[in-house]
Chain A
Amino acid sequence: MAEARQVPEVAAPAVAQGNAAYAWPTHPTYMGTDVQRIDGPDKVTGRAKYSYDIQRPNMLYGRIVRSPHPRARVVAIDLTMARQAPGVKAALAVVEPNAILMFQGEEVAAVAAATEEQARDAARLVKVQYEVLPPLTSVEQAMSPDAPKVFPDGNVREGAAEETGDLAAGFKAAAHVVEQTYNTQVQTHVSLETHGCVCEWDGDKLTAWVSTQAVHGTREGFAQALKIPQANVRVITQYMGGGFGSKFAPDAQGIICANLAKQAGAPVHLMLDRKEEHLATGNRPSAYAKIRAGVSADGMLTAFDAQTWGTGGAGVGAGFPLPYIYQFPNRRRQHKDVYINAGGARAMRAPGHPQGCFITEVLMDELADLVKLDPVDFRMKNLPPDAPDARWRAYFPIAAKLFGWDKRHPTGDATPGPIKHGFGCSANRWGGGGRGSHAHCEILPDGGVIMRCGTQDIGTGTRTLVSIVTAETLGLPIDAVNTEIGDSLYPFSGGSGGSTTAASVTPAIRVTAVKALDALKAKVAPKLGVPPADLVASDGRLHARNDRAKGMTWKEACRTLGAEPIAVDGEWQPGLSASGTSGVQMAEVEVDTETGVSKVTRLVCVQDCGLIVDKLTAESQVIGGVLFGVNYALFEDRILDRNTGQMVNPNMEWYLIGGPSDVPEITAHLVDQPERGVIGLGEPPAVATAAAIANAIANATGVRLRSLPMTPDKVLAALEQQRAGGTR
């Protein structure tokens, strides 16, 4: 049973300690401005080739046979008929007889055929005999004492209790106590490009075009699983259609694809379909918290006692941080991972944080109401001390001003009519930060510049960042740089997870470009009669720092290289990046109390991310993160049938993602912190949105929803309970 592949938060300083030789420019030309994506034209024309789009000569199509049962024993697998089907070139069993399958969608067998249609037909001809076993389909069932023991080490794994301070004294100091249960749903990644790859063998060497967030990590994964040297594997990811934390390895389908290609002696294209994607490629675990929390009469948090649990599916943990951000001096928490027969969790955009944030922030509003304090004032009293990576004390007021928070009414919109309006707020934190990343730069005698780095652009704009930093450093136009990424043949760079890519890659590019420029300066300096240290590169020229006329054009400078290009390697160094971000969000909603439909009308996001490299794409990240949070708040839910354990909405019409009409007015306020260096931004803005929306719905309706997603049925049920005289 594997743990979820969580991307570790990087332990890095909160402020960059500058190294003068490579320090970021103080008056940049491109950095921090709006720079269009360099691959934008390829994406808008359809010319960008994703792994899904790769077509090789004589390529076959693969198809996986998956368990239709959430729990079953494989009795027998018969590939005979499948092998005889038209067009079939390879067929294999993925598991042996007697294997126990633990979730719907687990891989059983696979085929490859000349056309996709033939592969689907042949997959249906694979005869698998199952002994169906009773599954655990919900956390309630898995935790009940009479549940069958399905997992070898028990259905529930109880963690050690965490305790700080004196809980009894904390509750004694409380003037009010809230006791409630909160929960968040299972969310799937729904990357638009499904998981999968194209595998092609040349003798004992494998080339794989993979939809992955980690070309080097995936190379290692193929080598280990196939028992071949890493040097024999090449992984290419020029474009990839979203991963959100679910794509760091070849996975079962990658290894199956490589084995089918080997057996068939031909390249195989194996991309999952939408149902497989929902079932087998990861999800954000659910979270439950039964909390007792106390607040003093003057609005200080005093005590927090929580039992928490959640499911990451079959054998995967469901951890999340709690309490989130705010300071409870006396606290205790006991967490349990609950296993059920469903696809396993994987890292998903800020793993654990949206869960911990929602639970804590909804609780915070309940406590604020009890002491009759404005939610912002109440939070300000209970925040940790200000620090470079903890700036909520500054950001709440900024957000309040941008949002118009002073117009908030007390809980429950008193205006007549069915449509109620409300405001809500919340805060978020995340790590980010840089780590080892390498690059290679060539300056060619004809003036050409190539920058290579084995990172990948998962949609965040990494390719563009590489060009920006190279052009900035060499004093050239952005389109003068040939950026080459997305290939494991290029210098090592880590996986794109934990919001670490920008902070890992851009320092490596900066260092490498500076080194390359230094090499060019050394060649040119004697010809200009200027010491190399006095040369600068700007506006396409190399010239003396104090005398622009004493210099030559970039092309002239490169011509002095003769036949031998400059080729230098560089790597990430400390001093150009840092770790730790903070942010605040505020939401306005409109709730129809007759239909239960909530609509988010406005969102303000105040977010820092260190030094901004490309303002345009950074803002896109923030807007996208906020919308990710809107979906989590209102729409998304992996629904399992409680009797059969089957996912009832493994598609995109019943697994809901908001569309253009669901978009609120979004204010993305990025706080630039050039002194901190680059940090990273992909995850932080996605954390706080659902909590802010939940608090806004409570402010509008006067009833509190403690369960995500906040669908119309839950809103109506809460309103009905209030009318019936239930407790708020």
Chain B
Amino acid sequence: MAPKDETRSELDERSGVSRRFFLKTVGAGGVAASVIDGLQEALPHAQEAGTAAAPAAIGPGPVPITLNVNGQRLSLKVEPRTTLLDALRNHAGQTGNKRVCDRGSCGACTMIIDGRTRYACSTLAIEAQGHDIRSIEGLAKGTVLHPVQQAFAEADGMMCGFCTPGFVMSAVALLEKNPHPTVEEAKRALDGNICRCGTYVRVLEAALKTKGVARG
């Protein structure tokens, strides 16, 4: 039930647009679906404009974006309000990560962005441009499972499987930072994910017995 420890968005910090500021700006302007362009490194035309004083508004219609997902460049056209999760699921056919709560409380959408776990349902796709995005689809090499995936399969760290991709991503992020976590560390790292079938015991077992995850 505990939230992810990253309550403050690293992306927001980098882009210079805090969530609070974003919401205030949209609210104050009364523009339902446009967004202030703060991702200067990601949007060439903003760089050309070159001034922070008059940021260009984009949207509300679809805009072209480029995402770096699992090492591949992915060019899509989505509305600025589209989340990273929906952009990948609905516009790129990458349905591995799941949409469950759609508001950052269950972790089924967990991806790894710049090495840290992120709720893709609460990350705008346009804000994710220029960042290194890893989703569940990027872990296995062909039919060879990632060590964490292999451990989940062996320990039966799943039942219906709908939370599983999120748990696998959280476990990968943990083990890349800390290859030998204690039980308490593993619980804490996975506390941002919820499973209804009750697979936690074996999910933790899988996370703790995984070997051979390189530091990320």
**Which A residues lie at the B interface, using CB under 8 A?**
36-37, 39-41, 43-50, 52-53, 55, 61, 115-117, 190-194, 239-242, 244, 273-274, 458-461, 616-617, 619-621, 623-628, 635, 651-653, 656-663, 666
Q: Which residue of A lies closest to B90 (CB)?
A: A116
**B162 and A661: CB pair below 8 A?**
no
**Which B residues lie at the A interface, using CB under 8 A?**
1-2, 79, 81-82, 86, 89-90, 93-103, 105-106, 108, 135-137, 139-140, 143, 145, 149, 152-154, 156-165, 168, 186-188, 190-204
Residues of B within 8 A of A617 (CB): 156
**A624 and B156: CB pair below 8 A?**
no
Q: Most chain-B CB neighbours within 10 Å: which of A191, A241, A274?
A: A241
In the assembled complex, the CB of B6 is this many whole angstroms from the nearest CB of chain A, namely 16
Given contacts A657-B1, A661-B188, 17 further A-B contacts (CB under 8 A): A36-B153, A36-B156, A37-B158, A43-B164, A44-B149, A46-B94, A46-B97, A61-B90, A117-B82, A192-B194, A193-B160, A193-B162, A620-B156, A620-B197, A651-B101, A657-B196, A660-B190
**B196 and A242: CB pair below 8 A?**
yes
Residues of B within 8 A of A660 (CB): 186-187, 190-191, 193, 200, 203-204
Bound: A115/B187 CA distance, A: 38
| Contacts A/B (CB < 8 Å), 26 sampled | A36-B156, A43-B161, A44-B165, A45-B136, A46-B94, A46-B165, A52-B95, A53-B95, A191-B160, A192-B98, A193-B162, A242-B197, A244-B196, A623-B202, A624-B197, A624-B198, A627-B200, A651-B103, A657-B196, A659-B194, A660-B186, A660-B190, A660-B191, A660-B200, A661-B191, A663-B187
Q: Most chain-A CB neighbours within 10 Å: which of B145, B157, B159, B190?
A: B159
Residues of B within 8 A of A626 (CB): 198
**A652 and B105: CB pair below 8 A?**
yes
**A663 and B196: CB pair below 8 A?**
no
**A190 and B160: CB pair below 8 A?**
no
In the assembled complex, the CB of B210 is this many whole angstroms from the nearest CB of chain A, namely 12
Q: Which residue of A lies closest to B108 (CB)?
A: A192
Residues of A within 8 A of B187 (CB): 660-661, 663
Residues of A within 8 A of B160 (CB): 191-193, 239-242, 458-459
Task: Tell whether A241 pairs with B105 under 8 Å between CB atoms, given A37-B158, A41-B153.
Answer: no
Residues of A within 8 A of B163 (CB): 192
Bound: A442/B163 CA distance, A: 34
In the assembled complex, the CB of B177 is this many whole angstroms from the nearest CB of chain A, namely 17
In the assembled complex, the CB of A404 is this many whole angstroms from the nearest CB of chain B, namely 20
Residues of B within 8 A of A621 (CB): 159
Task: Tell whether A40 pairs with B152 under 8 Å between CB atoms, given A623-B201, A660-B200, A661-B187.
Answer: yes
In the assembled complex, the CB of A586 is this many whole angstroms from the nearest CB of chain B, namely 17
Q: Most chain-B CB neighbours within 10 Å: which of A46, A55, A621?
A: A46
Bound: A621/B105 CA distance, A: 25
Residues of B within 8 A of A191 (CB): 160, 196
Bound: A663/B197 CA distance, A: 13
**A41 and B202: CB pair below 8 A?**
no
Q: Which residue of A lies closest to B82 (CB)?
A: A117
**B196 and A192: CB pair below 8 A?**
yes
**A44 and B153: CB pair below 8 A?**
yes
Query: Number of residue pairs across A and B with beta carbons under 8 Å?
Result: 175
Residues of A within 8 A of B192 (CB): 659
Bound: A160/B99 CA distance, A: 46
Residues of A within 8 A of B101 (CB): 274, 651-653
Q: Which of B156, B168, B196 is within 8 Å of A190, CB to CB? A: B196
**A44 and B152: CB pair below 8 A?**
yes
**A192 and B162: CB pair below 8 A?**
yes
Residues of B within 8 A of A460 (CB): 159
Q: Which of B98, B168, B194, B199 is within 8 Å of A241, CB to CB? A: B98
**B103 and A653: CB pair below 8 A?**
yes
**B198 and A37: CB pair below 8 A?**
no
Residues of A within 8 A of B191 (CB): 659-661
In the assembled complex, the CB of B145 is this many whole angstroms from the nearest CB of chain A, namely 6
Task: Tell whether A241 pairs with B202 under 8 Å between CB atoms, given A115-B90, A651-B101, A660-B187.
Answer: no
Residues of A within 8 A of B99 (CB): 52
Bound: A117/B32 CA distance, A: 12
Task: Tell whether A241 pairs with B161 under 8 Å between CB atoms, given A37-B153, A40-B156.
Answer: yes
Q: Which residue of A lies closest to B201 (CB)?
A: A623
In the assembled complex, the CB of B111 is this many whole angstroms from the nearest CB of chain A, namely 11
Q: Which of B136, B153, B204 is within 8 Å of A40, CB to CB? A: B153
**B102 and A47: CB pair below 8 A?**
no
**B100 and A652: CB pair below 8 A?**
yes
Residues of B within 8 A of A193 (CB): 98, 100, 160, 162
Task: Tell whether A117 pairs with B79 under 8 Å between CB atoms, given A43-B158, A459-B197, A627-B198.
Answer: yes
Bound: A561/B86 CA distance, A: 50
**A651 and B198: CB pair below 8 A?**
no
Residues of A within 8 A of B201 (CB): 623, 627, 663, 666
Bound: A115/B194 CA distance, A: 28
Q: Which of A39, A41, A115, A628 is within 8 Å of B198, CB to CB? A: A628
**B164 and A44: CB pair below 8 A?**
yes
Residues of B within 8 A of A653 (CB): 101, 103, 105
Q: Which 5 A-B pairs have the closest CB atoms?
A: A46-B96, A459-B160, A241-B162, A627-B198, A624-B198
Q: Which residue of A lies closest to B99 (CB)?
A: A52
Residues of A within 8 A of B157 (CB): 44
Bound: A652/B1 CA distance, A: 9
**A659 and B159: CB pair below 8 A?**
no
In the assembled complex, the CB of B106 is this many whole angstroms from the nearest CB of chain A, namely 5
Bound: A625/B186 CA distance, A: 22
Residues of B within 8 A of A48 (CB): 161
Residues of A within 8 A of B158 (CB): 37, 40, 43-44
Bound: A656/B101 CA distance, A: 12
